[in-house]
Structure 1
Amino acid sequence: MPDSPRVALFIPSLYGGGVRRVMVNLARGLVQEGLPVDMVLTRAEGPYLSQLPPRVRVVDLKSRRVGLAVPALIRYLRRTRPKALLSAMEHTNLAALIAKSLSGVPVRVVVSVHAMYSREVELFPHRQNRALIPFLVRRLYPHASTVVAVSESVAADLAAAAGLPREKIKVIYNPVVTSHLREQLQEPLNHPWFGPEEPPVILSAGRLTEEKDFLSLIQAFHLLR
Structure 2
Amino acid sequence: MKPSVLFFCPTFSSGGVEKVLINLANYFCERGYNTSFLVCRQIGPLETHLNKGVIIHSLNKRVGKCFFESLKFFRRESPSVVICGPQVINILTVVILKFILRRRTKVILTHHSFYDFDVKKMIVWKKFYKSSLRSFYKHSDVVIAVSQAVKDHLVNDIPIPEHKIQVIYNPVIESNFRDLKAEKTSHKWLTGDRDFKVIVCVGRLSRVKNPDALVRLMPDLVKMIDCRLILIGDGEQHQFLKDLVSDLKMAKYIDIHGAVSNPLKYISRSDLVIIPSISETFSMVGVESIAAGIPVLSTPTRGVREVLENCEGCFFESIENREAFMLMICQLLTSNRIPVNERFAETFSVNSIGKIYEDLVIRD
Range of TM-score over shorter length: 0.7 to 0.9
Aligned to 2:326: 222
| 1:82 alignment partner, one of 56, 68, 79 | 79
RMSD of aligned Cα (Å):
2.5
When structure 1 is superposed on structure 2, of 189-198 and 140-149 the one drifting more is 189-198
Take 1:201 and 1:124, find their aligned partners in 2: how far apart are those partners? 34
Take 1:140 and 1:13, find their aligned partners in 2: how far apart are those partners? 22
Contact 1:71 1:99 in 2 (8 A): no
Aligned to 1:70: 67
Matched ranges for 1:1-225 at <5 A: 3-66=1-64, 68-100=65-97, 101-116=99-114, 118-119=115-116, 123-187=119-183, 192=189, 198=195, 200-214=197-211, 215=213, 216=276, 217=299, 218=319, 219=322, 221-224=325-328, 225=331
When structure 1 is superposed on structure 2, of 96-105 and 152-161 the one drifting more is 152-161
Q: In the TM superposition, what whole-angstrom CA distance separates every residue of 1:132-181 from its partner, at most 9, and x where no partner exists?
A: 23221111111110101111112212222211133431111111100122
Contact 2:141 2:164 in 1 (8 A): no
When structure 1 is superposed on structure 2, of 195-204 and 139-148 the one drifting more is 195-204
| Per-residue deviation, 1:209 | 2.0
Contact 2:147 2:169 in 1 (8 A): yes
| Per-residue deviation, 1:35 | 0.6
**C-alpha spacing 1:44/1:187, structure 2 compared with 1 (3 Å):** closer
Does the residue aligned with 1:170 lie in a helix, a strand or coil?
A: strand
Take 2:184 and 2:56, find their aligned partners in 1: how far apart are those partners? 34
Does the residue aligned with 1:148 lie in a helix, a strand or coil?
A: strand
Take 2:45 and 2:11, find their aligned partners in 1: how far apart are those partners? 10
| Per-residue deviation, 1:23 | 1.6
| Per-residue deviation, 1:124 | 4.1
Take 1:64 and 1:141, find their aligned partners in 2: how far apart are those partners? 22
Take 2:184 and 2:12, find their aligned partners in 1: how far apart are those partners? 28
| Per-residue deviation, 1:24 | 1.4
| Per-residue deviation, 1:195 | 7.0
Does the residue aligned with 1:71 lie in a helix, a strand or coil?
A: helix
When structure 1 is superposed on structure 2, of 175-184 and 144-153 the one drifting more is 175-184
Contact 1:41 1:61 in 2 (8 A): yes
Alignment-mate amino acid for residue 93 of structure 2 = A
Take 1:12 and 1:203, find their aligned partners in 2: how far apart are those partners? 26
Identity of aligned residues (%): 26
Does the residue aligned with 1:204 lie in a helix, a strand or coil?
A: strand
Take 1:197 and 1:57, find their aligned partners in 2: how far apart are those partners? 44
Larger radius of gyration: 2
Contact 2:151 2:165 in 1 (8 A): yes
What is the aligned residue count?
220
Contact 1:110 1:146 in 2 (8 A): yes
Q: Could you tell me which runs of 5 or more consecutive residues in structure 2 were left unpaired when the two chains were aligned.
A: 214-275, 277-298, 300-318, 332-364
Take 1:70 and 1:208, find their aligned partners in 2: how far apart are those partners? 27
**C-alpha spacing 1:197/1:60, structure 2 compared with 1 (3 Å):** closer
**C-alpha spacing 1:107/1:221, structure 2 compared with 1 (3 Å):** same
When structure 1 is superposed on structure 2, of 138-147 and 177-186 the one drifting more is 177-186
Does the residue aligned with 1:48 lie in a helix, a strand or coil?
A: helix
Take 2:80 and 2:48, find their aligned partners in 1: how far apart are those partners? 25
Take 1:13 and 1:80, find their aligned partners in 2: how far apart are those partners? 19
Q: In the TM superposition, what whole-angstrom CA distance separates every residue of 1:83-124 from its partner, at most 9, and x where no partner exists?
A: 1111111111110110112112111111111122x215x634
What TM-score do you get using the length of structure 1 for normalisation? 0.84
